[in-house]
Structure 1
Amino acid sequence: MPRLTRLTPDTAVGASRDLLSELESRHGRIGDMVSTMAHSPAVLGGYLQLSRAMGRAKLDRRVSERISVAVQALQGCGLCLDAHVSAARAMGVDEEEIARARAGTSADPAIAAIIALALRIYREPTSITDEQVNALREHGYSDRAIADVVGVVALNILTGSFNLLAGLVPESGTDV
């Protein structure tokens, strides 16, 4: 059961009302996380800005979705995990790779290396080494793509933590 109520453009006030009204007019439907985030216009605005910015990331979306699956498998947000597994499937990531991502790895050494970096950023960023970053470059990742991993992890921490706080869970009957 959700711990925080959903807001709508009619029930929200101030900046939250404006943000929700804009989202509703552009997309029609407002999801549970966004409508609940509207309790804090700062959190909602920050989420929307970071989400838009990460849409311009250099990192391949199939890779960033696997990173998101790995982070959410650790963080424990079922709602986020379901969303990222569905997105990975929609992009053609097979079930074996999704299972590997849940376990924090990949059959592809380059993808396994970038997932390992993401999990270090999530768990213990002080343990990142020059060798690890250099190995990513040897796998063909640019500095921009490597830096984008921080944004992917940060976005997952924000959404997962919020959903866990708010008590938002996947709808029953999901296939994940």
Structure 2
Amino acid sequence: MKESIMPRFSQLTPASAVGASRDLLGELVERHGTVGDMVATMAHSPAVLGGYLQLSKAMRRAKLDRKVSELVSIAVQTQQGCGMCLRSHIDAARSLGLSENEISRAQQSTSHDPSIAAMIQLGTRVYREPASITDAQVEELRGFGYSDREIADVVGVVALNVLTGAFNLVAGLTPGD
């Protein structure tokens, strides 16, 4: 992981944000009472904040099992280097009952379960080199019983992780900020 840096952008509130960001933050605060550091910082760009919120909402309708999704996220964030995202996904994995061994294996882009390892490997390839994904790899996933929808959902999981991880790294958000 990268060394700790200071946040590069301020966190906005409904009172300090302008335009569409003020509206989005106001709605979020009204619904949830507060927003996290990343969302408050994303408000500098209404396009990024709105896109994040829409993709995040859409991915809640994913067919991919939540445990597999978190393991893919852990593998991607380990490679991307966003400590804040990695911590969040590890916490989510623990809350879903995944073992420390399974979390550790995901950080190494694998799993003890060959079907989950194949999905994690798909996710890391989507992250690093999507053009390298082969017909045989997709057929292997189908052979493990994954539907085309679940396979496609991995692309959404990776896209959401790239957005949040890259944003946090550029903004200088680190665990504990």
Q: What is the aligned partner in structure 2 of residue 12 from structure 1? A: 17
From 106, 122, 125, the equivalent of 2:127 is: 122
Task: Write the mapping of 1:89-104 to structure 2, written as runs, cut at 5 A.
Answer: 89-104=94-109
Matches of 1:171 and 1:13, distance apart in 2:
27
From 150, 158, 177, the equivalent of 1:153 is: 158
Q: What is the aligned partner in structure 2 of residue 139 from structure 1? A: 144
Shift of 1:168: 0.2
Matches of 2:172 and 2:47, distance apart in 1:
20
Q: Which amino acid aligns with 2:70?
A: E
Shift of 1:29: 1.1
Q: Do residues 54 (structure 1) and 94 (structure 2) align? A: no
Alignment partner of 1:45: what SS? Answer: helix
Gaps of 5+ in 2: 1-5
Matches of 1:129 and 1:14, distance apart in 2:
44
Matches of 2:96 and 2:123, distance apart in 1:
20
Gaps of 5+ in 1: none
From 62, 68, 71, the equivalent of 2:73 is: 68
Q: What is the aligned partner in structure 2 of residue 166 from structure 1? A: 171
Matches of 1:3 and 1:171, distance apart in 2:
15
Alignment partner of 1:115: what SS? Answer: helix
Q: Which amino acid aligns with 1:6?
A: Q
Number of matched residues? Answer: 172
TM-score (norm 2): 0.96
RMSD of the TM alignment (CA)?
A: 0.7
TM-score (norm 1): 0.97
Shift of 1:61: 0.3
Q: Which amino acid aligns with 1:55?
A: R
Q: What is the aligned partner in structure 2 of residue 111 from structure 1? A: 116
